[in-house]
Amino acid sequence: MASPNRIVELSSLIAKETAVIDGFLTRNQLPTPSLDAYALKSIPIPEEATEIHTARRALIEACSELKALMTGPKDLLKFDWTAFVSVKAALRFKLDRSFAVGDSTTFEDMAEFSGLNVRNVRRIVRHAILNHYFFQEAQPNVITHSGLTAVLAEDEVARNSLIVELDEFWPAGVKLADALEKWPNSEEDNETGFSLANNSNKGMYEILAENPARQERFALYFANPDKTADGIFDNYPWTNVSSMVDIGGSLGSVAIGIAQRFPNVKCVVQDLPNTIAEAESRLPVELRDRVTFMAHDFFTEQPVSADVYFFRSIFHNWADKYCIRILENLVPALKPGAKVVIHERMLPGLESLTTMDARRAINTDIGMQQLLNAQQREMHEWPELFRKADSRFRYIGAKKPTGSIRWIIEAEWQG
């Protein structure tokens, strides 16, 4: 429950943290944040500037809470049932691509470009402006880009991500309650909101495999580069490791990063055949003696003996029964002392539920449910998962590197 003076506390906190951010911008000769077309697309805060990152998170969280308190419970209950309708329509008819950043256009020109009539273009664009800062209309019938549509017009990865979220994830979320009613507590990936949204008795991966264009969009969505690998290079003792298997390792970015930094480690990347074929073609020549690729389905017996078996953002795609099967399939290859390292988000405890990171983790958790009947896990669930797979696993623990979103979760095979 909020304290009697919570709105005053929040307003003071907002002023304090805003001053911290403004000081950083001033010292670095950066412009004040804006949503204009040529504004900063994001605030370039260095990774090591932890005070500024902390201030930004605190400011966003305080603004969100203050808005909720000033809106009040009754108005907060009002559902915005038109929320992203205009954004989805603008993307579907490529209104953001109908004119260049720096130019202007009119509703008439947008209508001619899209094939929609002027009335429909006007209502879509004005809804998007008022609700989502899409486009700007400083003068009647003169439309320019905002910072958001400037990003979409020029950044194919960002545009594709929003399309996937609106066309694939959103309909699945709308059907989650129906799926829970039809298949209570199911752990099957073909009994989901995604399956219902697609009028199918198949799971998400099978459905996408039947439509190459959708599958390609999904692949691009999950292909965003991660230059730091979220702390895994600097926060695990790779100098003590001779061999590792990156299971479900996609194009091998983590294994390649490890091999480049730690010449003592030989890496095997395992994934499905089509992914492996592409990954091999991208491997730097100088690493071919220490990074190899293997087609392997992790629901079958593991054929490679190694010091470390690494899973990055794999377990959150599967319900417990399937994660247990993945671990069981490692057992034939395990030698005493071998480690299983899982690198993914952790559901927060009660003490941190209000933070931005907690919100992201919880949103991802419900997203995994609506798509795959999968889940994020809380701290206490990991040792139990290993125990259920085999009592010979010894759970070591979990840690979250500073500035990372993923945790490093580890268990040892005792044999």
Residues in the chain: 415
pLDDT digits (tens, 9 = 90+) for 66-82: 999 999 999 999 999 99
Q: Which CATH superfamily is domain 229-413 in?
A: Vaccinia Virus protein VP39 (3.40.50.150)
Whether residue 403 is predicted with pLDDT greater than 80 in this model: the reply is no
pLDDT of residue 377: 96
CATH number of 85-154: 1.10.10.10
Q: What is the mean pLDDT of residues 268-274?
A: 92
The Cα-based distances of 163 to 16, 48, 314, 347 in angstroms read 37, 33, 23, 27
Task: Give me the helices (H) in 94-175, please.
Answer: 107-114, 118-132, 147-154, 156-164, 170-174
Whether residue 119 is predicted with pLDDT greater than 70 in this model: the reply is yes
Q: Phi-psi bin for 283: left (phi > 0), alpha (psi -120 to 50), beta? A: beta
| Nearest in space to 308 (alpha carbons), one of 345, 276, 267, 273 | 267
Supply the residues annotated as catalytic. Answer: 316
State the pTM of this model: 0.88
pLDDT of residue 158: 94
Distance linking the first and last C-alpha atoms of the chain? 50
Domain positions in the chain: 6-76, 85-154, 156-221, 229-413
The amino acid at 401: P
pLDDT digits (tens, 9 = 90+) for 131-145: 999 999 999 999 999
